[in-house]
Amino acid sequence: MNKNSLVVDLHMHSTSSDGVLSPSALVDLNAENHVDIMALTDHDTLEGLSEAREAANRKGIRFINGVEMTASWEKKVLHIIALDFDPENLSLKQSLEDLKLQRLDRAERIAKKLQNIGIPGSLAGAQKYAREGLITRPHFAQFLVEAGKANDPQEAFDRYLGRKKKAWVATEWPPMEKVIDTIHHAGGLAVLAHPLRYKLTASWMYRLLTAFKKTGGEGMEVVCGYYTPIEIKTSVGFALRFDLMGSVGSDFHGHSLYNNQPGTCSPLPDSLTPIWSLFKDL
Ligand code: AMP
Ligand code: MN
Ligand code: MN
Ligand code: MN
């Protein structure tokens, strides 16, 4: 079978991070959308994987372990998607434990900044939206809307949570190279998430992709839920230029910020090798 004709979606979120659907409800939606191969890629946590895998098995969807790991490179924050790894790998589990602590520490610092500008109670408020899942900035955004400090989550980012805004705090996420190594030690593949979202100049993009490739990263997202056709074309050019495999992901969260439905991205262009051709038992 031509692997490019499969409906593939390798980037989406559940309630284990900042998505709105439980892992099994997310799988149900993928089944309705006729997805053949899906990965759950919550931010920095594997919490939802087993529930999603069981649901996917029931629905006959091929399920790939995933996680969207937060990393830093040259003082920039990057997201690296790990795919098809051993979720029991100890060094991966340790890295995710460390990221969880960093997230908690960051959440406390964001809350303190908000408190200092007259917005109390945001830690508990954000945690309420995160429920038992990992706390993320979109949870703070939901709290800020609830508190009447922003009309919608985007405005909460634009005023408070975005880079260099009132409640922005810098965080030393693990270096990209270390994150890629950890993924490889766990037997997984490293895919650079949404490369065009980092607002890099062309020369920084070249530096990033050169470093990513040199460290052994296998692929990059070429088709994202929110990319325009021109952005997809640009991404194809980068993937070819840097000999990276192509990945496809809606980045579905189910809320107003990211609501591109699972399985509805354009297919990966034929000129690229799909990252899923490396999956262990496809
Ligand atoms: P975190 O990993 O907790 O910093 O949250 C990152 C998530 O916040 C991203 O995956 C997006 O869903 C959302 N996000 C980040 N920056 C922005 C922004 N400037 N505007 C809207 N949403 C954003
Ligand atoms: Mn997110
Ligand atoms: Mn991301
Ligand atoms: Mn994402």
Parse the chain into domains and list their residue ranges. Answer: 3-93+175-278, 97-161
Pick the CATH number of 97-161 from 3.30.70.250, 1.10.510.10, 3.40.1260.10, 1.10.150.650: 1.10.150.650
Residue 82 DSSP class: E
pLDDT at 2 over 60: no
Choose the residue to mutate in 106, 137, 144 for probing ligand 1, maximizing ligand atoms within 8 Å of C-beta.
137
Instruction: Note the pLDDT of residue 132.
Output: 84
Please list, in sequence order, all residues whose beta carbon lies within 8 angstroms of the beta carbon of residue 250, skipping any fewer than 6 positions away: 9, 11, 12, 224, 225, 260, 261, 262, 263, 264, 265
* Residue owning tokens 């607002």: 199
Instruction: Tell me if domain 3-93+175-278 and domain 97-161 are identical in fold.
Output: no
Mean pLDDT across 239-245: 98
Q: What is the mean pLDDT of the chain?
A: 96
Q: 89 C-alpha to center of ligand 1: Å?
A: 28
Is the pTM value of this prediction over 0.85? yes
Q: pLDDT per residue over 6-19, tens digit each? A: 999 999 999 999 99
Q: pLDDT per residue over 86-102, tens digit each? A: 999 999 999 999 999 99
pLDDT at 5 over 90: no
For domain 3-93+175-278, give the fold. TIM Barrel (3.20.20)
Instruction: Note the pLDDT of residue 83.
Output: 99
pLDDT at 4 over 60: no
CA dist., res. 128 & res. 131, Å (int): 5
Q: Which atom of ligand 1 is nearest to the CA of 153?
A: 21
Please list, in sequence order, all residues whose beta carbon lies within 8 angstroms of the beta carbon of residue 193, skipping any fewer than 6 positions away: 11, 68, 78, 79, 80, 81, 221, 249, 251
Q: pLDDT per residue over 267-279, tens digit each? A: 999 999 999 999 9
* Contact call for residues 10 and 42 (beta carbons, < 8 A): no
Q: Which atom of ligand 1 is nearest to the CA of 18?
A: 12
> 274: Cβ below 6 Å to ligand 1?
no
DSSP bridge partners of 40: 65
